[in-house]
Chains A and B, each alone.
Chain A
């Protein structure tokens, strides 16, 4: 079958099982948009309002489904607008394929209109990228792109397609054979001595703790990790992106670790004699000062990315492999154990934490972010997919919305990209149309991508937007309060009337200023089939506790004073 390059792109997307793509047209990608019409019934195109939105939507889709998300943009400014989304996906190992138009091959290098060296610009923020210079290479290149995006440690892959390659014709051959990439062999199994080594450390440990990361969900190893925890009675703490890897109501799961993690998790890590790090990468936000990090503990580190082993924290047993495969090698030989004393100590720390829980404080007349998020949790039965933006509300969602299922908290962890939440929620809705989706965003971050309200309306995407409005760039304000003597430089925000804005876009909305109004507004949003917006006007100067100041020792946490202590 002879096809144009543009048609080959569509055919390849169909072969890869793609149903939806998020994009924005322009000159250099126009042939591909023209070809779309013919495929409209099978491949839905979502017209975004800014290409950054397209990249986050593809990312949200990928995080919610585990499948590759697709975004499309034109050359030059269209492609550069994707960069933030690619970098976000790269940091959080989210599989997306971006297809960009490029100026025709003869014009490349001439500073032609809307020419940008897109493969050059995106090199450090993609897992791999391609410039296709011959239409005969197009089909297998796209197949490779999907393969690379979704296998091993997933990540974004960009395919830059010059306009003349989109127009040129060739025989369409989709390589049905397996991809052969000589330099790409994600590790899978552990060696026997590594498994033995890990088993020995677990057998010898008296105070073990599991550090559960995002990789557990990417590998589909939730059951195996749970079995490991239960059989050897090992408590587990979660990274931000690891939330959902184990049900948070499980008695062995002790909440998030790190800068704004549970105090009990951080204490337990510092006191442990064995860390079992699974599909996580010891980011500085979870370790604090590396010199004093878990100094009493031996470390088992299992990750699919070999370069993560020994990168930040030296492993006594480091295993590069697919977590599910490796745990299945290990579990048959794992002895039952119990650690009542160790778990007892953790319970004491938890006790202390609950005394400091803001929800147990008398706060008459105030509306607090923690209350709003915990109410949303209660009303949604803890079963919604929540997609956050970045800031205080993000950390409070992690603390006050326990997740029971994998891939139900979608958040920009590694890059901390403000503006991610709302578009990623739209993308997630396309991936999981039957799930209830909440975008929980700050007043600052929402304004970075609020133009996508039009997209949500055009697509009637049933996404509930909860704006946590403190009229501040709250997280930055918190740092200014703690470390810059409350000099609130460039953090107070004069905001638009978000409800009127929603009105202008045709989005049903509610304003909430009192705790008593929360339930009604949340139920109202849930009752509407289509986008809704609730503006929660919360206290201006809240704090997220505990907090490990950047670079401080993990046990050196700023805590909320107990009632009566303040």
Chain B
């Protein structure tokens, strides 16, 4: 799917140290600066000591820059990018529990799911769970369509994003104690660091 900007939201992506309290620091900064966050997701990366956050804000580029510069000030935040200037992929995932207790709703739901990248992942006599993955815009369109049949429960993960192409957003940082211990192993015989 080629992503074009369809809304007034900005995406900020941050690589952060995977340490206790880091999310708290970031949340505290957002609250203190009264930044209005639309969604915030954190997840692991392929590096054990690095987590990655995707932050969506309803705002213009200037506001996103303010968020980025304030994020960058936090010691545990390694690298920040405002993604909207580059082509990127974004995905949001929803689990949606819907009523499924008559043939009509069963048919409607199957029909809607066929037209979207959605799957029915659990079916019972009264309710079914749909898993839907897509851009935020498509997800929202899907939810609007499903609504009339009766959503009884729903959770969204929030948007995760990644820039396209070879401009890689990564860091080769390993954790700090490892750094210090590596340095101390390199000590010379007289107890001095080399």
CB neighbours (8 Å) of A124 from chain B are 28-29, 32
Query: Are A180 and B193 within 8 A (Cβ)?
Result: no
The answer to the question of A177 belonging to the interface, with a C-beta cut-off of 8 Å to chain B, is yes
Query: Are B193 and A183 within 8 A (Cβ)?
Result: no
Chain A minimum-CB-distance residue to B14 = A183
CB neighbours (8 Å) of B69 from chain A are 306-307, 309
CB-defined interface of A221-257 with B at 8 Å, one 1/0 digit per residue?
Answer: 0000000000000000000000000000000000000
How distant is the Cα of A306 from the Cα of B76 in the complex, in angstroms? 17
How distant is the Cα of A121 from the Cα of B178 in the complex, in angstroms? 29
Please, could you name 6 A-B residue pairs with CB atoms under 8 Å apart, sorted by A? A173-B180, A173-B193, A175-B180, A180-B176, A183-B17, A307-B69
Interface residues of B, dominant DSSP: helix
The size class of the interface chain A forms with chain B is: 20 to 34
The answer to the question of A50 belonging to the interface, with a C-beta cut-off of 8 Å to chain B, is no
How distant is the Cα of A99 from the Cα of B54 in the complex, in angstroms? 34
- List chain A positions with a Cβ less than 8 A from chain B: 119-120, 123-124, 127-128, 131, 136-137, 140, 144, 148, 173, 175-177, 180-184, 305-307, 309-311
Q: A123-B24, A183-B78 are in contact. Are A307 and B180 (CB under 8 A)?
A: no
- List chain B positions with a Cβ less than 8 A from chain A: 16-17, 21, 24-25, 28-29, 32, 62, 65-66, 69-70, 72-79, 171, 173, 176-177, 179-180, 183-184, 187, 192-193
If A119-B21, A175-B180, A176-B192 are given as contacts, then 16 extra A-B residue pairs at C-beta distance below 8 Å, sorted by A number, are A124-B32, A140-B177, A140-B180, A173-B180, A173-B193, A175-B184, A177-B183, A180-B176, A182-B173, A183-B72, A183-B78, A183-B79, A305-B73, A306-B73, A307-B70, A310-B66
Closest-CB distance, A87 to chain B (whole angstroms): 12
**Contact for A183 among B16, B187, B192, CB less than 8 A:** B16
Query: Are B193 and A176 within 8 A (Cβ)?
Result: yes
How distant is the Cα of A359 from the Cα of B122 in the complex, in angstroms? 85
How distant is the Cα of A181 from the Cα of B77 in the complex, in angstroms? 10
Closest-CB distance, A62 to chain B (whole angstroms): 19
CB neighbours (8 Å) of A183 from chain B are 16-17, 72, 74-79
How distant is the Cα of A184 from the Cα of B80 in the complex, in angstroms? 12
Chain B minimum-CB-distance residue to A124 = B32
Closest-CB distance, A457 to chain B (whole angstroms): 40
Chain B minimum-CB-distance residue to A308 = B69
Closest-CB distance, A156 to chain B (whole angstroms): 13
Chain B minimum-CB-distance residue to A176 = B193
**Contact for A184 among B28, B70, B75, CB less than 8 A:** B75
Chain B minimum-CB-distance residue to A187 = B72
How distant is the Cα of A182 from the Cα of B72 in the complex, in angstroms? 11
Query: Are B66 and A307 within 8 A (Cβ)?
Result: yes
CB neighbours (8 Å) of B25 from chain A are 123
CB neighbours (8 Å) of B29 from chain A are 124
